[in-house]
Amino acid sequence: MKTASFTFAIAPMMDWTDRHCRGFHRMLSGRALLYSEMVVADAVIHGNREYLLGFNEAEHPVALQIGGSDPGKLAEAARIGADFGYAEINLNVGCPSDRVQSGRFGACLMAEPDLVAECFAAMQETVDIPVTIKCRIGIDEQEPADALPQFLRTVSAAGCERFTVHARKAWLKGLSPKENRSVPPLDYDLVRAMKSEFPDLRLILNGGLQTLGQGQTELGNLDGLMYGRAAYHNPWILSQVDEMFFGAAPNTKTREDIVRELIKYAQTTQDTDPTVRALSRHIMGLFHGEKGARLWRRNLSEGDRSLSPSRRILAAFAAMQKARDQARENPA
């Protein structure tokens, strides 16, 4: 069991962690730190802010992740995010996509720790909420055992106290973003070693974590865990987070309870926000590993698209329940 200073976070994932996904995850855990998708600083400044940044108060605590490398623009974007009510602003220094590289932000900034420090300082000077960094252990030909401590030393000297470290190197040339999530080997030991070298920093471990038990095993002396695709594809693990890491009472909700909450959420949202249709794909993993999970997924993905989101969820659940009842009545 960890203290209140412990951080358990759901990673910012492009095209996945929208407001409806966060709303679903908040139904499962009241304490997990949720993140927005990465939003480029220029988009924050010039784009549709309500569409890009809007969130429901029920999602709190929620952090805004920003991409960029211009200190002035990042500072303005951070101010806008803080005014929207986010609990934290996070600078992306970890994404390896070609589009991100061409814009000179994301993982390629691992090669420019002085610039990252300048960006951080400009952002933190502008807002009263924490500014944090999400990074890799290194990129390309860098030796992580040298690059990561240099990066942490330089950026923390500018005042940054919390880093989420994806424990893989990113190969910006030769590997796709998908391959960069699995091909470079994980080095949890290096991240733990950084905590020993920089005991005053709060270091959050990210990358490759599949179960909560694995997270407990790999945590060691670190200050938190960040889960990405494992939490998205098997979201029910989030129902154990508050008890396991924050000392809360055991969760008494069932998956069926969550379905009822989802239907109510969709009913109250669908008349004013057409993007709630994305909720169906965010909840496909709710019955992961359970009987009827495949039928649940199929009905959500292939069911009657003319139905409202709430009725679509209800129909998927009803089909799964019917199949379960038939299986009990006619056991093989």
Cα separations in angstroms, 130 against 133, 170, 202: 10, 26, 12
Rounded to the nearest 5 degrees, what angle is found at the Cα of 127, between the Cα atoms of 122 and 131? 70
Place of tokens 């910006």: 172
| Cα distance between residue 324 and residue 292, in whole Å | 7
Which backbone phi and psi does 52 adopt, to 5 degrees?
-80, -35
In what order do the strands lie in the sheet containing 7-10?
Answer: 7-10, 224-227, 202-206, 162-166, 131-136, 88-93, 62-67, 34-40
Catalytic entry in 95, 108, 119, 160: 95
| Cα distance between residue 135 and residue 171, in whole Å | 13
SS3 250: coil
Is residue 135 annotated as part of the catalytic site, yes or no?
no
- Spatial contact of 157 and 188, defined as CB atoms under 8 Å apart: no
Name residues whose C-beta falls within 8 Å of residue 42's C-beta, 6 or more positions apart in sequence. 68, 73
| Cα distance between residue 188 and residue 231, in whole Å | 19
Nearest by Cα to 65 from 100, 96, 27, 34: 34
Burial of 104 (0-12, 13-18, 19+ CB in 10 A): middle
Task: Give the active site residues.
Answer: 95
